[in-house]
Amino acid sequence: MPPFFFLLFWFSISQALLPPRGFYLNCGSSSSTKLNDITYTPDKGFISVGNTTTIKQKDLLPILSTLRYFPDKSSRKHCYNFPVAKNSKYLIRTTYYYGNFDGNNNPPVFDQIVGGTKWSVVNTSEDYAKGLSSYYEIIAGVPGRRLSVCLAKNAHTLSSPFISALDVQSLEDKMYNSTDLGSYKLSLIARNSFGVDGEMISYPDDQYNRLWQPFSDKKHSTVTSRSSINPSDFWNIPPAKAFVEGFTASKEKPLELLWPPFPLPATKYYVALYFQDDRSPSPLSWRAFGVSINGVSFLRKLNVSTSGVMVYSGQWPLTGQTQITLTPAKDSPLGAVINAGEVFQVLPLRGITNIRDASAMEDLLESIKKPPVDWSGDPCLPLANSWTGLTCSKNKISRVISLNLTNRGLSGSLSPSINKMTALKDLWLGKNKFTGPIPDLSPMTRLETLHLEDNQFSGAIPESLALLPNLRILSLKNNKLQGTIPSALLQKKGLTIQASPENMPSTMKTGQN
């Protein structure tokens, strides 16, 4: 499915409004810039990995003239992280302009991920061949206080993923509220204003900075409205400008519209259609017609006045080319009319990482110096892009079942909250430079192997380790631990202990090692 595109220039807008709420990043830039009265800031405070470069091309939009790219081949994903309000809703837009920044003259193909859900494949080749940039949009609910937007290599990625700009726009609670955003995300397929062949509608005409691309069709007559709608009367708060023009057909004749203008894969979609009678307000300013999509009734009798109306379906099955048919009622004074539409693919969430596990991994991230570069975003999901060293379960609520950071040159301490990861079976931290005490791990009742050898752990060997019912291998040698192994550990059946001589009881120093 083709991505959307920006022209390499932008129309000027002088109308001043309060800026929309959210984050607007000019990726790879060292300075802020304005676009349509929105300030785009450098992205440095939201990501700690990647390289930056400048596209040396005339007449580029400022947000397209720089980018951040990610050449690290070992990293499973590269994530931007945003602090957000709990249980909030955001429109996320990623913008890409390749500009041959790597000299390969072949845009890389890669994945983009929101939270723990793979959003889509980014392929800008077709747009780049036309001298255009590309953008993608998704509407996501955020249950916690952090939102991550990540890029990741896939089987088709031959060079470095990159990004030019990133918008994270806050939405009102009532917008797109027919979809349970705790279970689904909405990936934009098309958003168009009909009957026009002019400029794209954006901020400030749309206060939420959505982009309404013009969609013209010479087969249909157009009308221009003589009255305006009140956006707040509609759940999705569409811009009044999207109702200014529309397609119409003569009385008693159906209006058949092929839209979106490209075939769709077979799945479920959120469909919202917007209508308004174009005449001056009066008791006779109304139209009545039925709406069907691909021959299936969407709404049997719709009454459209000058105040406008929106109809929608949260999960409508579509496949292939979509045809919207508006059939006027026998008593309607005029033919049907349609002004704008939105279609989103409904993406099921692929699960979430257990909150306690995620919290524990975040604490460990904070306590380690120079952690793996891909320790960002959701720790477990998508499973193919989990944090380096993690193995996670395939359950709907994913658990961390293995953590292997052996010989990665890490330092810092072992966060006490690691004991929240109660599904962990293997914890391997050997051959690093961890310091400080070994925390209480007794809540980790599924732990089978614990490798802490060749570090700089200090303090006493916790007697609580004897409370781990499934522990069968414990390796503590070559640390700075004081005292000897507690007798409860030595007496534990089925447990193999590897320890330095100074930590073994005197009666065993010539025996076990």
| pLDDT value for 506 | 78
Look at residues 120, 52, 146, 75 and name the one whose alpha carbon lies nearest to residue 385: 75
d(CA 217, CA 211): 19
| pLDDT value for 508 | 67
d(CA 486, CA 463): 6
SS3 204: coil
Radius of gyration of the chain (CA): 29
d(CA 425, CA 449): 7
CA dihedral 205, 307, 169, 312 (to 10 degrees): -130
Look at residues 125, 126, 113 and name the one whose alpha carbon lies nearest to residue 70: 113
d(CA 220, CA 202): 25
| pLDDT value for 6 | 43
d(CA 123, CA 342): 22
Residues belonging to the chain: 513
* Other Cβ atoms within 10 Å of 43 Cβ, number: 23
Look at residues 61, 1, 3, 74 and name the one whose alpha carbon lies nearest to residue 34: 61
Question: Which letter does DSSP use for residue 181 in this model?
Answer: T
Both tokens of 487, joined, read 């007798």
Which domains, from first to last, does the chain contain?
22-171 (2.60.120.260), 188-348 (2.60.120.430), 352-508 (3.80.10.10)
d(CA 256, CA 235): 26
d(CA 24, CA 31): 13
> Average pLDDT for consecutive 10-residue bins of the chain (513 residues)?
44 48 96 94 96 94 96 95 94 98 96 95 96 97 93 95 98 95 96 91 95 95 95 96 96 94 97 96 90 96 95 97 96 92 95 93 95 95 96 95 97 97 98 98 98 98 97 98 95 96 78 43
CB distance 342 to 47 below 8 Å = no
Element holding 403 (H helix, E strand): strand 400-404
Sort strands 264-275 and 286-293 into parallel, antiparallel or unpaired: unpaired
| pLDDT value for 198 | 82
CB distance 485 to 497 below 8 Å = yes
d(CA 335, CA 450): 74
- Residue 48's alpha-carbon distances to 72, 110, 150, in angstroms, are 13, 20, 12
Output helix, strand, coil percentages for the chain, rounded to the nearest 5. Answer: 10, 40, 50
CB distance 273 to 291 below 8 Å = yes
H helices present in 331-393, as ranges: 355-367
Listing DSSP states for 8-44 in one string gives SS--------PPPSEEEEETT-SS-EEETTEEEEESG
